[in-house]
Amino acid sequence: MDAAFRRHLGRARRLGEGIRRPAVTRLPWWRLALAILILAGMVFVLASFAPIYFHNLELQNYVSSVTRSVDSRSRSDDLLRTWVLNKARRLNLPVSEDNVHIVHSPDGMRIDVRYFVRVDLPGYTVDLHFYPGAGSR
């Protein structure tokens, strides 16, 4: 190495030694505990609501398949209502006879289901309202 390059390296090293980096601050334990508690609460709420929403989606798909079926257009309203109620009972959804509305029109048929599910969480109760429905054309 030549002398000029060695002097340059020496100056760069001395300049780097003069820079002080701030010390790393540790995360307080209470912040970590609070973050874990909040995350656990979110997981609990998700675990409470997810099955209800998935069952509603399954009922929606069933109602849609019933309205698309050519055979169901010639069936009576009471039979169609019974099919929807049986599916809702299998899914443990609180659907009653007066929650199922069947409308016939020149364009086709429409089945609407309106119900709510009460979810009791610790310290809070919420009513989830659902309106699955489908029509054929």
Residue 10 placed within a domain: no
Overall pTM surpassing 0.95 (yes/no): no
* Residue 70's pLDDT band (cuts 50, 70, 90): confident
Query: What's the first-to-final CA gap in the chain, in angstroms?
Result: 86
Residue 13 predicted with pLDDT over 60 = no
User: Which amino acid is located at 119 in the chain?
Assistant: V
CB-CB contact of 88 with 111 (8 Å): no
**Hunting for tokens 């099955």 — which residue is that?**
51
Looking at per-residue pLDDT, the higher value among 77 and 137 belongs to: 77
Mapped onto helix, strand or coil, the DSSP state of residue 57 is helix
The count of domains in the chain is 1
Residue 96 tokens, joined: 């009653």
* Residue 73's pLDDT band (cuts 50, 70, 90): confident
Q: Mean pLDDT, to the nearest integer, of 42-50?
A: 95
**Strands, sheet with 100-105, edge to edge from the N-terminal-most edge strand:** 100-105, 108-113, 133-135
Residue 25 placed within a domain: no
Residue 30 placed within a domain: no
Q: Mean pLDDT, to the nearest integer, of 104-113?
A: 88
Residue 57 placed within a domain: yes
What residue numbers bound the domain in which 110 lies?
50-137
